[in-house]
């Protein structure tokens, strides 16, 4: 394709996606895919300047697409877009351009979180809110005054400063309207519940919101302000526009303080730094910690602080030279869903998953993603052949969040959950009444067998290095293991018969297996895989009964009396040990010399007895497991979820947003590394600052 043809094709695609996003509230591609189109267009235009024209998307300030639902508003001062930096090199190049533009003057920078929401301009006259408008194409936006007036954090009347109520005669404030994660999850859950009712009634499900940004934009642009009011939108201010009669300001930092004094919410994470090294440090920190926030961010906005220096630097045709948006790696992309299949877990639970056209998202190439369960597939109405939105945040398992309905193939049909297990036995699948999961109930299912062995050897259980999924499949296919007990009878000679196995690999696995025989009792109990019996309950049972034999002989009532166990887990344990094959496996472990009674007794002060501390994310100097162990060694509990009984939530890098949001809703104290170590040493929360 010639450069001219490719430029025309890119301009056509970008215009189409602008219309879908801004006018229709129905985007067909992710931000990352859209940015890639714009950057490709800019690159080709830079190589062929004779093909550039003023109507190119690279020259326009905004999207150029407005909805017919709202009246138009002409901005007194254009709402410019920002140029993007996708990596440290592009950020450094921008810093060099700023330095050259200022000559001998040294800039300092203001770093702000790039909120993933909708840009808004608010207008105040004689101290009262009179109008709100979207950015639109940067020159003309949409009048959303009635809807914005429902957002509680936006003041209707400017606050007094030092007791003086008279503010500027005209004040324009720019900022971002966004949907907090907790509000988004409520909206998503409500739509999924509505879809379940629709499916029960034989009606088609409706689209489920796929991310807070799109849901927030749709919420703001409702015809009925009452609907907007119900959604829980919020707002951060970040810039002054037109000001008539206001106090003189010399820096962006002073502007933000002024906005705060007038009653506007200003993000607390804004930081002023003296050089570009400070900018890079800020960007790197928030790229790692973006999921500790109760709202979505997709980058950092960097601005020159001095307003005088901004005048010197000026603007290009579409963006200021004194600011740039540093974009984080995308966590959402669109791709093709090739097929939907199901996997079978160790308890027989079947989980649908998507086979995808490979796509780079969240720092890695993804070709499979979870679909959670049968109901989720139905309420989201994803189908083979769909273009879908795929999300991968940090270390979280990739998931399909929804289809792009406008791109659905014409003859598409809803996906039907299989009736038979995909294993060679082809057993009929069963969905117990009242449960969300469909299960294979055949104990001899080879897929369950393999998953039980994989779980037994996993890091949270017996932690046998080298005995991962592929190795277990290889051993199983060769007929060398039928259950976890067979692991301990493997020989060097048997392993050397396997494809691509040499002496070193075989010896390393055998040494790891031998070392696992001395694991503490809680790990062994967890590894057995009794339904509902996780690390916390295993720890409690081990302390209460001392040996595996004592637990096997205990009655259901005695087991249920153990703190953290209860009647449901107790019944599950009794049922598990009543199965002859399970008892036979335990005897294989005994015969192999696996330790049945090693309970590690902590000599640390028991200052956390009766206290529950939840850990999310990675803490410097701790693994997730060692942080939880530190709590338990002091008599505390470390459950996997936040509740009203939680003493504190400890937050590290790549933390789970749902836990943080829950803690904030319940008023649970949130601790960093220093706060965590204070609790460990004293048993008490650190004093409030």
- 253: exposed, middle or buried (C-beta count within 10 Å: 0-12, 13-18, 19+)? middle
DSSP 610-632: T-EEEEESB-TT--HHHHHHHHH
Structure tokens given for 207: 């689209």
Return d(Cα 556, Cα 567) in angstroms, integer.
7
Structure tokens given for 662: 């829950």
Return d(Cα 326, Cα 276) in angstroms, integer.
12
Taking the C-alpha atoms of 652, 86, 21 and 149 in order, what is their torsion angle to the nearest 10 degrees?
60
SS (H, E, C) 242-296: EEECCCCCCEHHHHHHHHHHCCCCECCCCEEECCHHHHHHHHHHHHHHHHHCCCC
> Quick one: which H or E segment has residue 553?
helix 548-553
Return d(Cα 162, Cα 148) in angstroms, integer.
28
Contact (CB, 8 A) for 250 and 306: yes
Under 8 Å CB-to-CB from 621, ≥6 apart: which residues? 673
5 belongs to the catalytic site: no
Instruction: Check residue 573 and give left, alpha or beta (phi > 0: left; psi -120 to 50: alpha).
Output: alpha
Structure tokens given for 424: 């060679």
Question: Can you name the residues that pair with 72 across neighbouring β-strands?
Answer: 142
Question: Can you name the residues that pair with 420 across neighbouring β-strands?
Answer: 428
Under 8 Å CB-to-CB from 365, ≥6 apart: which residues? 358, 359
- 587: exposed, middle or buried (C-beta count within 10 Å: 0-12, 13-18, 19+)? exposed
Q: Angle between the 446-457 and 521-528 helix axes, to the nearest 10 degrees?
A: 160
**Helix, strand, coil: what percent of the chain each, to 5?**
40, 20, 40
Q: What are phi and psi of 430, to 5 degrees?
A: -130, 135
Under 8 Å CB-to-CB from 134, ≥6 apart: which residues? 70, 118, 119, 120, 121, 141, 142, 144, 220, 221
Place of tokens 């193939």: 409
Return d(Cα 29, Cα 550) in angstroms, integer.
58
Compute CA distances 293 → 265, 424, 679, whole Å: 16, 46, 22
Q: Which of 114, 327, 632, 637 is catalytic?
A: 114
Return d(Cα 283, Cα 277) in angstroms, integer.
10
CA-based torsion, 553, 559, 564, 567: positive or negative: positive
Return d(Cα 669, Cα 459) in angstroms, integer.
30
Which residues are identified as catalytic? 114
């Amino acid at each position: 394709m010639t450069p001219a043809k490719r430029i025309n094709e890119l301009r056509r695609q970008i215009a189409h996606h602008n219309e879908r996003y801004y006018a229709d509230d129905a985007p067909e591609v992710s931000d990352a895919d859209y940015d890639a189109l714009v950057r490709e267009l800019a690159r080709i235009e830079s190589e062929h300047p004779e093909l550039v024209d003023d109507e190119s998307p690279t020259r326009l300030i905004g999207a150029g697409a407005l909805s017919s639902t709202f009246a138009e508003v002409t901005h007194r001062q254009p709402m410019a877009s920002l140029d993007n930096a996708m990596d440290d090199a592009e950020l450094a190049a921008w810093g060099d351009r700023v330095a050259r533009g200022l000559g001998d003057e040294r800039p300092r920078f203001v770093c702000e979180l790039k909120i993933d929401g909708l840009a808004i301009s608010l207008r105040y006259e004689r101290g009262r809110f009179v109008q709100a408008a979207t950015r639109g194409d940067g020159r003309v936006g949409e009048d959303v005054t009635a809807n914005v007036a429902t957002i509680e954090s936006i003041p209707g009347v400017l606050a007094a400063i030092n007791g003086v109520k008279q503010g500027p005669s005209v004040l324009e404030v720019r900022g971002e309207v966004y949907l907090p994660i907790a509000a988004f999850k409520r909206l998503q859950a409500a739509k999924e519940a509505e879809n379940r009712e629709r499916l029960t009634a034989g009606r088609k499900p409706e689209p489920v919101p796929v991310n807070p940004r799109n849901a927030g934009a749709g919420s703001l642009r409702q015809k009925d302000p009452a609907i907007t009011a119900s959604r829980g939108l919020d707002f951060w201010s970040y810039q002054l526009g037109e000001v008539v009669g206001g106090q003189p300001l010399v820096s962006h930092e002073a502007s933000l303080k002024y906005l705060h004094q007038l009653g506007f919410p200003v993000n607390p994470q804004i930081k002023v730094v003296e050089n570009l090294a400070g900018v890079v440090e800020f960007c790197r920190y928030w790229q790692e910690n973006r999921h500790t926030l109760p709202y979505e961010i997709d980058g950092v906005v960097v601005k020159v602080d001095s307003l005088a220096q901004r005048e010197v630097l000026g603007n290009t045709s579409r963006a200021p030279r004194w600011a740039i948006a540093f974009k984080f790696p995308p966590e959402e992309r669109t791709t093709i869903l090739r097929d939907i299949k199901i996997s079978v877990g160790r308890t027989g639970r079947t989980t649908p998953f998507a086979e995808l056209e490979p796509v780079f998202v969240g720092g890695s190439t993804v070709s499979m993603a979870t679909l959670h369960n049968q109901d989720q597939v139905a309420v989201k109405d994803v189908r083979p052949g769909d273009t879908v939105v795929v999300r991968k945040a940090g270390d979280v398992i990739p998931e399909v969040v929804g289809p792009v309905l406008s791109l659905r193939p014409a003859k598409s049909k809803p996906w039907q959950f299989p009736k038979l297990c995909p294993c060679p036995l082809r057993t009929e699948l069963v969905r117990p009444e009242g449960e969300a999961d469909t299960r294979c109930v055949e104990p001899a299912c080879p897929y369950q067998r393999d998953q039980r062995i994989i779980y037994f050897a996993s890091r949270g259980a017996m932690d046998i290095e080298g005995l991962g999924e592929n190795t277990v499949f290889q051993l199983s296919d060769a007929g060398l293991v039928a259950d976890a007990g067979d692991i301990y009878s493997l020989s060097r000679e048997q392993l050397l018969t396997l494809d691509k196995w040499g002496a070193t690999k075989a010896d390393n696995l055998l040494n790891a297996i031998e070392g696992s025989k001395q694991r503490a009792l809680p790990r062994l109990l967890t590894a057995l895989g009794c339904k509902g019996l996780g690390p916390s309950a295993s720890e409690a049972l081990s302390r209460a009964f001392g040996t595996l034999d004592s637990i096997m002989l205990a009655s259901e009532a005695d087991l249920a009396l153990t703190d953290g166990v209860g009647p449901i887990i107790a019944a599950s344990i009794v049922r598990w040990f009543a199965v002859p094959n399970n008892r036979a496996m335990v005897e294989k472990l005994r015969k192999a010399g696996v330790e049945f009674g090693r309970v590690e007794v902590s000599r640390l002060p028991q200052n956390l007895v009766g206290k529950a501390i939840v850990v999310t994310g990675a803490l410097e100097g701790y693994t997730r497991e060692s942080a939880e162990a530190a709590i338990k060694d002091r008599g505390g509990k470390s459950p996997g979820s936040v509740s009203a009984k939680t003493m504190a939530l400890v937050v590290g890098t790549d933390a789970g947003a749902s836990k943080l949001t829950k803690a904030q809703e319940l008023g649970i104290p949130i601790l960093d590394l220093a706060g965590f170590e204070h609790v460990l040493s004293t048993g008490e929360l650190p004093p409030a600052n």
